[in-house]
Structure 1
């Protein structure tokens, strides 16, 4: 009996063909993974395609540029700030909301977004700054308005407190201290900002 010393290589399981939202999600996840490992400067459309186990053409059909792809990946990955806390007091609501904003800022997409802005040139950074504004700042301001309005209705907060300067205070402080001071916004940091900045701004006279 003649036997061959060559044996057929085991067949590789073919990757299931993905389309539509499933493929797009895989590409966006691969882009986030690339950002977390090689950064903005090291990210390539070819590398993203390889990570998503698809062809480069499939990436370019959906996102004509690296900027478009990364902006969508970051925006899709940021945690949603959808509901204002309602814990019975304006202080507790503020603490909970600030923790939500902190968690969005320091999530994997949030951290990647801040890193990308540092690596990009001025024009590119402006594009990603919009992602921060739309994904973190504007939702935080919207929910902050709800928290303060509810506090006004309960008599905890002065009637004219829901103005633009007060509403901007939390996101402005969090962004500034994160960028300029390296603050990671521990629970203690959030409590100090709430008690030393926000509560005095909101307090009813004599409260």
Structure 2
């Protein structure tokens, strides 16, 4: 695992020092540097970046304001010569706050803190990818991988679980019961007859939800709830 990093600082010597420090840490790759904060923000909003070294005191926009304005939210390590900005940095959940002049030992501690955070988030994603439930069907227990569920449909006393590229599975239970087995907020009920995985929503129009493989109606009594988690 490694971090893709960007550094933004109006001082060329500061960028040179960050580049030199990063070159000594194999788990980190510096993919770009910017002396202009606006150009740096534009780059981050259009390029996958794990970590940004961001100077706070810059002439065109402060690093704190830039962090707040970013559409994409990478991890941020603030760098500055001014102690009074520390509170603003931590208020934005910054990974760390480095006071200039930065020594390598302090710099490397901040880097490895960011690596730990990325590993932790990666472990959570892996657990979600492997998540499953068991349902009773055709006199046996069937394992259902949650990420493979397209949607779930009520059929009187049964639920019909539509699985990606597989035959649907029928199980004797209610939608309410199976919804209790599914993780919230990954799965939501949109109609008295349908539960959907939120990650598979492609568009919403005229009280209809477009999923990857089907268009389903939104029930009138569920419309307001759908708006709260979709918009």
Q: TM-score range by the shorter chain?
A: under 0.3
| Greater fraction of residues in strand | 2
| Greater fraction of residues in helix | 1
Higher relative contact order (CA 8 A, sep 6+): 1
TM-score normalised by length of structure 1: 0.23
